[in-house]
Structure 1
């Protein structure tokens, strides 16, 4: 268990220059990290499970290079902590980013927000990718897991419609152009907002280069049909990439729904919406 006492001890032991700063746990946090605010200017993030390890080093290596070229703020890594005191993985310290997580109610139908997010992805995709992390798992690599999830949710959703969409996504023409940068987990929960505007994009653990369809979860997690159309037009997404993007939105939401919906009403609502919007297209 990652307690505030453990985080305090790790910080004080490895970064004594911050030992005098107050530390408080941030809730709600995501499913991948426990987050604490350290003083007014810093955030401490510790992975909860093996699937989240490696993010600290990746962000430290890449975000300082990418950030100056992006139109929305991203985390500014400060340091990477090492395994210690029984905690088994590397962990991160970054500059604190003010803001609240974006909501569908506030931003879902906002065309300016949709356009701004598309412009963020376009800027990311244009950046040189020399040495970029690999593209990660493919849609086909998630086929068995996704079809099993479809079977499990057949009493909640239209399983036949889910199967048709998933089959179309897996069978869609593959990305046949040079790989481009992608965020890798681009959905509503990784947007911060201040003053009615998106202020930051966070959580770059999935950062890599490959098929940009993986970043098309956002139109289905956040947007309405109207704002989604503006997003697609601004980014210039072709039909095959859009279908693969619907597949990524579907598989991400299904896996999260089957893992967490029974115990977390917030995740249940968010993933239900994402599944329904992916079916709409």
Structure 2
């Protein structure tokens, strides 16, 4: 038992060295995070997997040592049902896709976009939500659609915001990037930015948490995307099949719907992505 537990404790480090060569600072940091979260390895015979999160409420939340949120609940339950021991760690949002693309044995949740596919060697085992990327503006400014916003607009966004390159391609170059998405609500209401780029659901959550008047802002939709489990494209296909089947069991028994119901006032109507689109390359 002790030998088996020790093997499982060392497995994450071995996975990080699989590509050969000296360990980079990124891999050393990631190895420390994974090993620090593996304290139950001696007591659990299941295969270990890492789920990495970064705060983006209501998708992912952190209060003290507790990590929650819609995606966190969906992902950890699916991985658990796949008979995996789930180690949850924190990662910086602006580096999450890079970590996942470089190493196996790590999952995150993220938006399925062509940019992500082109830049990172990743795959999407399953998709569980349709999210709306939007620009949040003050209602008094009179903008009614994304195309109404002048190209000179000052747009604030979270450091790891998915559509940053897309906005630049559309001509919006005055981008103000911050470490925390909730800072942007204050910047918007103080007129220090003209628009706040965010998931529509995240903006609603933050405005409610801050006690701000939802009627004072307007959401200008940009694009809708699938929100999915993400992992390295080098991950064992058999493991991907197990995780995918585990999520499908959550859909079948109503567990996904029950989790989503707790966040519905932020997420809006339920329009889950078509399973036939999960493994395919996304297109705008």
Which category of TM-score, normalised to the shorter sequence, fits these structures? under 0.3
Relative to the length of structure 2, the TM-score reads: 0.25
Q: Higher relative contact order by CA 8 Å / sep ≥ 6: 1 or 2? A: 2
Relative to the length of structure 1, the TM-score reads: 0.25
**More strand, by proportion:** 2
**More helix, by proportion:** 1
